[in-house]
């Protein structure tokens, strides 16, 4: 799969309009400003593909990017932005409920959290959504470059316990800024896509 060949497909607020061509879906989620767009850009080695620093107006849209006609990157709306109205928060909750109601469409769930901090209540909720889906799932701890070396181990342990990650759930220390962890994340994505390809061919 050529990660250079990425194209924006659509942005939807209504699950009735999900792409349905059966390509594997790699699903990215994280609170607003955690660096979700930056992580996606880093994976694709692009600078301004998924937007960075976007004003958090569109909190109820799911963005779809098609990668080399082989997979979708599904960019779930960021959450936890303080200035969002109650009505909008409710729309976000509904959309997530609907999205996760069909867990089979998730081929790999990727939850992005901030490596510096204890995960938020919303992070915990998303972690539960992914783990309850029973689909392949991993966590990316972004902004690693802002951590002191001595903080790495305790922070990772805190993320693991707060999100109640099972022992076999991967937690990848990551820096979208520096590229740390990119190889591990790309490999996880490629492995899932290869597996799906084998399934559909076999």
CA-to-CA distance for 54 and 48, rounded, in angstroms?
11
- Asked if 33 interacts with ligand GDP (CB under 6 A), we say yes
Which of 53, 86, 154, 198 forms a contact with ligand GDP (CB under 6 A)? Answer: 53
Q: Closest approach of Cβ 147 to ligand GDP, in Å?
A: 10
x/- contact string, 138-177, with ligand GDP (CB under 6 A)?
----xx-xx----------------------------xxx
The least distance separating ligand GDP from the CB of residue 51, rounded to whole angstroms, comes to 7
Closest CA to 42 of 202, 146, 152, 179: 179
- The yes or no reply on residue 24 touching ligand GDP (CB under 6 A) is no
Stretch that binds ligand GDP, among 20-28, 32-40, 58-66, 89-97 (CB under 6 A): 32-40
The pairs formed by 194-199 with CB atoms below 8 angstroms and a separation of 24 or more are 196/24, 196/107, 197/70
Cα–Cα distance measured from residue 180 to residue 175, given in angstroms and rounded to the nearest whole number: 5
Closest CA relative to residue 123, chosen from 26, 31, 27: 31
Q: Look at residues 61, 63, 75 and name the one whose alpha carbon lies nearest to residue 27.
A: 75
What residues make contact with ligand GDP under the rule CB under 6 A? 30, 32-38, 52-53, 78, 142-143, 145-146, 175-177
């Amino acid at each position: 799969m050529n990660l250079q060949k990425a194209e924006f497909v659509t942005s939807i607020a209504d699950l009735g309009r999900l792409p349905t061509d059966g390509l594997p879906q790699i699903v990215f989620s994280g609170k607003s400003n955690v660096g979700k767009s930056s992580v996606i850009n880093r994976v694709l080695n692009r600078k301004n593909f998924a937007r960075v620093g976007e004003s958090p107006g569109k909190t109820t849209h799911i963005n779809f990017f098609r990668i080399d006609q082989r997979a979708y990157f599904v960019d779930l709306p960021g959450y936890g932005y303080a200035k969002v109205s109650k009505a909008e928060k409710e729309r976000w909750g509904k959309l997530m409920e609907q999205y996760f109601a069909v867990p089979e469409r998730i081929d790999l769930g990727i939850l992005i959290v901030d490596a510096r901090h204890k995960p938020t209540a919303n992070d915990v909720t998303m972690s539960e959504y992914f783990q309850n889906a029973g689909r392949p799932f991993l966590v990316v701890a972004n902004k690693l470059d802002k951590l002191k070396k001595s903080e790495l181990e305790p922070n990772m342990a805190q993320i693991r316990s707060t999100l109640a990650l099972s022992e076999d759930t991967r937690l990848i220390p990551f820096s979208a800024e520096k590229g740390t962890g990119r190889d591990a994340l790309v490999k996880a994505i490629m492995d899932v896509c290869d597996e799906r390809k084998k399934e559909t061919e076999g």
